[in-house]
Structure 1
Amino acid sequence: MGWIAILAALSGAVAVAAGAFGAHGAEGKAVEWLKTGSHYQLVHAVAALIALRLDARGPAVTFVVGGAIFAGTLYLMAIGGTRWLGAVTPIGGAALIVGWLWLAWSVRG
């Protein structure tokens, strides 16, 4: 559980930094990409920590990895990465959906 919690906490920190950069240092479409990425990454960092408390390690990992892929591709595009990264973003989104479904299955009682 320890390394997943550490990654989730670091993910939250990256999300806040990206959101702050989007609010104060970015322009144009980059602002929206940073805002969207930071929102999703922060929500799923918290979701990962909650999943760990519910003893649902698999969903927690899926939230951290999915959030990194989803937000990371948006962040890279925001700082000048190629637009084809936008085609990878939905893979992260799909992982986030899988994480939620897996969490629901894990805690079904």
Structure 2
Amino acid sequence: MPCIQPASPDKVKNMKEESFIKEGKGKLRVTIEGSETLETTVNGRLKSVEEIAEMLGVEPKGERIEAVVDGVKVRMEKGKLELEFESGDRMRIERA
């Protein structure tokens, strides 16, 4: 049984949306909602739930992540990632 580790804020510092995307076939829609809504489409695919859980230093719950890391709410399931920041801004990355 793996040891559950607390979330690691040091690993999250300076992460950008590119941190969650890897090269590959496919398109992703990146939406940032704040005072304005910005939406773009990028080539690539989301990293797996396991890869992102390891990056954030959290333990996945099956094929899902629901955690708060350094004040950022992280929700992920296969093909969709949502980050909600303390300021109320949100970022979604999902398959297009």
TM-score calculated relative to the size of structure 2: 0.27
Structure exhibiting the larger radius of gyration computed from Cα positions = 1
Q: Which has the higher contact order (CA 8 A, sep 6+)?
A: 2
TM-score calculated relative to the size of structure 1: 0.25
Q: Which structure has the highest helix share of the two? A: 1
